[in-house]
């Protein structure tokens, strides 16, 4: 070798409604205020201003359906920003629209979305802790240590937000296709949640919340679906079972092409290995600038192209436009894939 070298609830006490004198023929113990009656079942609070219109089974179905959306939209944002964006569903609950709006920050990023086939609109909201790192990345910046401003969106940020939200439309369409084909479209993008009055404040809505993890931190995403929007589909939710992909078990698999399309934008690492050899540890420690490592491989020997560290193709070495380049010759041998 020549050298070169990452209504609050309550629980009733055991109060008897029988007079002690009427119990002479019962032979049983008297129920008294002392609390020696059988334990009463717990009382569940019920708010008459917010009736529960969606059953627990239907809520579970809706959560399964939107798990599909979370995976798909997370993949879209990963491809768009060239960084890993992990999205998972946290909760799905029925609340009033006023409660949903009050739970948002005074400054956030949200879009009103038209759903003509359902005859109404919904809200898609993204916290600033997610939105600003995304656009920082889109504009070529470093998300680590980036500042999240507490202000309204600028005109440029609004256009970027529309693009970010637009990526959610196809995943929404695919997630809902098992119930009904809906062409979701962005209507408006705003930063003040009080502006988006898609229904009256006391109307019941389904609030679906997601946790979003990305480089440099995490944030949230939420969907607000008015009950009137999904009322005609509720019965179908109660009669179908859903797979882990959000598809009804009584239907075929139609999502493979869409999954392939979304994954096509995911970044992968490509490398070309021109040659390799072995040296001893002592030789490695003694390396100095100017040392030359002999590989014993001819310059005419094909290089190996690796995808995410796994060899996939053989390539000829050369140059193009004054830069080193490799030309794909064909697939690598199966044994080395």
Highest mean pLDDT pick, 28-32, 236-240, 277-281: 277-281
Contact 111, 124 (CB under 8 A): yes
Of the listed ranges 14-18, 155-159, 328-332, the one predicted with least confidence: 14-18
Residue range 253-266: average pLDDT?
Answer: 68
Q: Are 134 and 73 in contact (CB under 8 A)?
A: no
Map out the domains of the chain with their CATH numbers: 56-263 (3.40.1550.10), 270-336 (2.30.330.10)
Which whole number is the average pLDDT over 320-333?
86
Confidence label for 161 from pLDDT (cuts 50, 70 and 90) = very high
* Interval 4-22 mean pLDDT: 45
What DSSP character marks residue 266?
S
* CB-CB contact of 43 with 7 (8 Å): no
| pLDDT surpassing 90 at residue 134 | no
Residue 85 and residue 103: Cα distance in Å, rounded? 24
Q: How far apart are CA 206 and CA 269, in angstroms?
A: 41
Q: Where are the beta strands (DSSP E) in the chain?
A: 85-96, 109-115, 120-126, 185-190, 204-214, 217-226, 270-273, 303-307, 310-320, 323-331
Tokens 């939710």, located at residue: 237
List CB contacts of 113: < 8 A, sequence separation 6 or more. 121, 122, 123, 124, 165, 169, 172, 184, 185, 186, 187
Over residues 282-296, the mean pLDDT reads 88
Three-state DSSP at 247 gives: coil
* Average pLDDT across the chain, whole number: 78
Beta pairing partners, 218: 213
pLDDT of residue 1 exceeding 80: no
pLDDT tens sequence across 106-128: 788 889 999 998 889 999 999 88
Confidence of residue 223 (pLDDT cuts 50, 70, 90): very high
∠ CA 215-218-220, nearest 5°, is 135
Show the tokens assigned to 126. 């993204």
* Residue 193: both structure tokens together: 């949640």
Crossing angle between the packed helical segments 56-81 and 169-176, to the nearest 10 degrees: 150
Give the contacts of 147 (CB within 8 A, at least 6 positions apart). 132
């Amino acid at each position: 070798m020549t050298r070169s070298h990452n209504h609050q609830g309550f629980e009733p006490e055991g109060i008897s409604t029988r007079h002690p004198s009427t119990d002479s023929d019962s032979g049983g113990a008297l129920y008294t205020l002392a609390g020696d009656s059988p334990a009463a079942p717990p009382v569940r609070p019920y708010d008459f201003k917010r009736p529960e219109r969606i059953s627990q089974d239907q809520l579970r179905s809706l959560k399964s359906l939107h798990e599909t959306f979370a995976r798909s939209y997370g993949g879209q944002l990963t491809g768009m920003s060239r960084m890993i964006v992990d999205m998972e569903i946290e909760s799905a609950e029925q609340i009033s629209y006023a409660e949903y709006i009050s739970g948002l920050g005074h400054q956030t990023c949200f879009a009103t979305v038209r759903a003509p086939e359902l005859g109404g609109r919904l809200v898609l909201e993204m916290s600033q802790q997610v939105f600003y790192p995304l656009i920082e990345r889109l504009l070529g910046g470093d998300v680590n240590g980036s500042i999240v401003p507490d202000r309204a969106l600028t005109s440029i940020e609004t256009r970027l937000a529309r693009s970010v939200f637009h990526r959610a439309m196809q995943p929404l369409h695919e997630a809902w296709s098992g119930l009904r084909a809906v062409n979701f479209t962005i209507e408006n993008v705003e930063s003040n949640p009080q502006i988006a009055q898609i229904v009256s404040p006391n109307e019941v809505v389904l609030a679906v919340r997601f946790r979003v993890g990305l480089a440099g931190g995490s944030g949230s995403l939420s969907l607000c679906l008015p009950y009137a929007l999904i009322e005609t589909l509720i019965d179908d939710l109660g009669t179908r079972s859903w797979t882990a992909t959000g598809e009804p078990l009584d239907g075929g698999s139609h999502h493979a092409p869409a999954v392939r399309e979304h994954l096509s934008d995911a970044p992968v690492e490509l490398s070309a290995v021109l040659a390799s050899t072995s040296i001893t540890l002592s030789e490695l420690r003694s390396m100095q600038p100017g040392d030359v490592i002999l590989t014993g491989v001819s310059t005419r020997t094909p290089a190996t192209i690796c995808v995410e560290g796994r060899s996939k193709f053989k390539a000829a070495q050369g140059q193009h436009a004054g830069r080193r380049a490799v030309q794909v010759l064909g697939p690598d041998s199966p044994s080395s894939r």
